[in-house]
Amino acid sequence: MGRIKVETCEIEGLKIITPAVYGDSRGYFMETYNYREFSEAGIDVKFVQDNQSASKKGVVRGLHFQIEHPQCKLVRAIVGEVYDVAVDLREGSPTFGCWHAEVLSAENKKQFFIPAGFAHGYTVLSDYAEFCYKIDDFWYPNDEGGIAYNDPDIGVEWPLEGIEVILSDKDRDRMSFREYKAERGL
């Protein structure tokens, strides 16, 4: 090891990864993913798909999850800055319903590993951001679920004061956390 630094969070399974960055007058170089390094750090996942999105300030994407095909995600911002959130939806977890957030940016180069069983979302803090994520299972359009980003029972502290929130039609109509639990008999 040595090319990445891995920090754990208060919620088991979530990890913040900071890669070693080698810079000089020409720019920089870093490894954003190395299976051996990640595996030694406890992230032994086979990723099958890479996704990228672009959004402007105030866009909120989430809180999303796959129902029957939950996904592990490794996320990072390659342009701009985002506030990235993971909510524990693992039944029986002592932190069920709890959330953790990280600021990910092109500048800090941090990555956030989110294991299967979490809802995920983010908002753009900069004027514009490009966001990349690796996932370990394919996306199934009929398997997507979501919880309202601003659900008071979850209580994510989004840094959105004074910012016009921009949501997709789907994210405007997401269920509450209470509805999610009732739907699952929890």
User: What's the CA dihedral at 91, 157, 65, 145 to 10 degrees?
Assistant: 100
Q: What angle do CA 10, 163, 145 make, to 5 degrees?
A: 55
Structure tokens at 144: 């997507």
In tens, the pLDDT along 116-129 reads 999 999 999 999 99
**In terms of Cα–Cα distance, which of 135, 157, 148, 150 is closest to 176?**
148
Per-residue model confidence (pLDDT) at position 139: 87
Residues 6+ apart with CB under 8 A from 112: 14, 15, 16, 17, 73, 74, 75, 76, 84, 86, 102, 104
Given 83, 122, 133, 149, the catalytic residue = 133
**Residue 128 catalytic?**
no
What is the mean predicted confidence (pLDDT) over 36-45?
92
In tens, the pLDDT along 165-183 reads 999 999 999 999 999 999 9
Asked if the model's pLDDT at residue 65 lies above 70, the reply is yes
User: What's the CA dihedral at 60, 65, 66, 72 to 10 degrees?
Assistant: 110
Domains in the chain, please, with CATH?
47-183 (2.60.120.10)
Given 64, 83, 120, 180, the catalytic residue = 64
Tokens 């909510």 sit at which residue?
A: 87
What is the mean predicted confidence (pLDDT) over 99-112?
98
Per-residue model confidence (pLDDT) at position 1: 45
Work out the end-to-end distance of the chain between its first and last CA atoms, rounded to an integer number of angstroms.
Answer: 41
Question: Using 50, 70 and 90 to split pLDDT, how confident is the model at 2?
Answer: low
Q: What percent of the chain has pLDDT over 90?
A: 89
**Residue 22 catalytic?**
no
Asked if the model's pLDDT at residue 134 lies above 80, the reply is yes
